[in-house]
Structures are given as structure tokens and as C-alpha cells.
Amino acid sequence: MIQSVAFIGLGAMGYRMAAHLTKHFSTVLVWNRNFEKAEKHAAEYGTQAVTLNEAVQADIIFSCLPTSQDVELLMTELELKPGSVWVDCTSGVPASAKTLAAQLKLKNVDFLDAPVSGQTVGAENGTLTVMVGGDAAAFDKALPAMQTFGKLIKYVGESGAGFAVKAVNNMLMAVNLCSVAEGFTTLKAHGVNLNEALDCINASSGKSMVTETVLPQRILNRSFPLTFALPLLAKDTGIALDLIRDAKLSAPVIALTQSLIQAASDLSEKDSDFSTAVKMYESWSKITIE
């Protein structure tokens, strides 16, 4: 029976995810490096802004930070409570999940890698997808807490499996981002009406989340709203490539796409949305996808 939950890391995602916890749990502790944000969250949602060491005394501890390294660094400072479950919603590194899970196991704490998808709108509405790796019993224990902000919550395998699924998902999106940039540049070079072409493709086998939402809502209208930074996508594609290297597999399209997204990220201005990767292609062809 979960008595208390905590949420560590109140960024664009975490701030909204933590808000749902109060609907189901009376004790919701929050902590953020910039502590004013935690206090704001407490005032707004009735959570309790506490110190990090207090937060990790909860039965279920959520974390949502930029990278696995951030989680590792933060964890070294802490005294955890035996019997608790740490649910890390960071888009992290599978190898790091395995290490942390093994370390926490020694202290009788379970570590679940539980990255989410659905962006800020999904966090707002509590409709996120959560892909979870780790101990199956710990998954069952943490499930009620994850259900407050998640709609589709899946146990995908042992420690690292959740992070692996997220990395591959984002990689597939990156591949679509590149190939759609290439394909639509080509169509425009040949005088094709891009909006009509897009309608056709979205009713055909070439359809993807990129053609359905990213292309019309971010690229064709030239808005490129920052919701997911390009360097973070570059990081995620790197995680996917590392999974391939670890398993000594051959994955030419993914390997190439990782290089392209890395290059696009290196060329991009600070705080660029992932969708601006298409601008690298536009600089080559002098064709604007609009």
C-alpha cells in the first residue's frame, strides 16, 4: 500500500506529471534543484516542497531529469529507504539503468526505468505512454502511481528495457524526420503541391507520426515551437546506436541517421526544436519546406 510518493525534477514534463499525483495520494513530496519551482508547485497543487533527502523517504520516488548522468550524480548523495521503488522517467541510458538497479538492489530498493512519451500535452492531460523496465513485482507496486499520469503503461522487460524502447522510438522518429525532409524537398523541386501531397501520403503507406503531426504543425508552417530540443534527440539517437554496438548488430539506416541528426544538432542554434533538423537539408538544397 503506497503511503507517500515523491517527484524529483519539475521540468516541463515533471511539473505536469507530479500534479496528477495529488488526485490519488495524500502525501506528495516534490523537489527541484531550483527550489522556487518546487514551492510554486506546492502552492499550486497542494504538494509539499521538501529537501531531497526528505523526498527520497517516500514509498515511490519518481525522477525526471535531462540525462541518466544527472540521475546518477543526484543519487550518490542520498540515503534511500529500504522497500521503496525509484521510478526514473528520464529518457536515459539502458546500461545506466542496469547499474543503478543493481546498486539499489543492495539497499533493498527497486529501480524502474520508466521513460514517457506524449510530450507536455500528454503530461498535462495524464495520457502519457510509459514504457517500463526492471523488476516485475516493483512494476506492479508502482503501477497505481504511474496510472495517475499515464494512459498506456507497459512492462517491456528487465532493467534497461524501458530506456531501450524509448531510444528506439525516438530513433524511428528521427529516421522519419530525415527521410521526410529528403522526400518533401524532392517533391518541391519537382513542382509538386506539398499540402496535397501530404494529404495523400497521410492516407497511404508512407504515413508516420512525422507526416501526421511534425510536418504540418511545425515545419510547413515554419513555427518550429521548442518542445523537445534537437540536442536531446541527438542524445537519444546516440543511445540507440550504442545499443546496436553493444549487441554487435548491423543497422545502416539508424547509424546514418544518427550521424545526420548529430550534424544537424551541431549546426543548430541553442534551444532549437528537434524539427529544425530539416534546416540542414534546406541549407543544402536551398529549398524551403513550406
Q: For residues 118 and 93, is the Cβ–Cβ distance under 8 A?
A: no
Distances in Å between the alpha carbon of 263 and those of 37, 95, 258, 278?
34, 25, 9, 11
Per CB under 8 A, 245 contacts its own copies: yes
Strands 60-63, 48-49: parallel, antiparallel or unpaired by DSSP? unpaired
Work out how close the CB of 128 gets to its own copies at its nearest, in angstroms, rounded to a whole number.
Answer: 9
Stretch that binds its own copies, among 10-18, 27-35, 39-47, 263-271 (CB under 8 A): 263-271
Per CB under 8 A, 19 contacts its own copies: no
The verdict on whether 98 is a catalytic residue reads no
Per CB under 8 A, 249 contacts its own copies: yes
Per CB under 8 A, 199 contacts its own copies: yes
Per CB under 8 A, 142 contacts its own copies: no
All 3 cell numbers of residue 31? 523537489
Site for its own copies in 40-69 (CB under 8 A): none
Per CB under 8 A, 220 contacts its own copies: no
Work out how close the CB of 170 gets to its own copies at its nearest, in angstroms, rounded to a whole number.
Answer: 7
Catalytic residue among 166, 207, 235, 248: 166
SS3 label, residue 206:
coil
Site for its own copies in 151-190 (CB under 8 A): 151-152, 154-158, 160-161, 164-165, 168-173, 175-176, 178-180, 182-187, 189-190
Per CB under 8 A, 286 contacts its own copies: yes
All 3 cell numbers of residue 8? 524529483
Per CB under 8 A, 192 contacts its own copies: yes
Work out how close the CB of 159 gets to its own copies at its nearest, in angstroms, rounded to a whole number.
Answer: 10
Name the DSSP class of 273.
Answer: B
Distances in Å between the alpha carbon of 256 and those of 235, 245, 259?
14, 14, 5
Per CB under 8 A, 137 contacts its own copies: no
The residues facing 29 across adjacent strands are: 6, 48
Distance linking the first and last C-alpha atoms of the chain: 54
Site for its own copies in 105-134 (CB under 8 A): 117-118, 129, 131, 133
Distances in Å between the alpha carbon of 52 and those of 15, 78, 148, 153?
16, 8, 22, 27
Interface residue with its own copies among 191, 222, 269, 270 (CB under 8 A) is: 191
Per CB under 8 A, 27 contacts its own copies: no
The CB-based long-range contact list for 246-250 (8 Å cut-off, 24+ gap) reads: 246/95
Cα–Cα distance for residue pair 126/257, rounded to 1 Å? 32
Measured from the CB atom, the residue of 92 and 133 that comes closer to its own copies is 133
Q: For residues 109 and 102, is the Cβ–Cβ distance under 8 A?
A: no
Interface residue with its own copies among 66, 126, 206, 216 (CB under 8 A) is: 206
Per CB under 8 A, 284 contacts its own copies: yes
Length of the chain: 290
Per CB under 8 A, 217 contacts its own copies: no
Measured from the CB atom, the residue of 16 and 166 that comes closer to its own copies is 166
All 3 cell numbers of residue 285? 538544397
Catalytic positions: 166
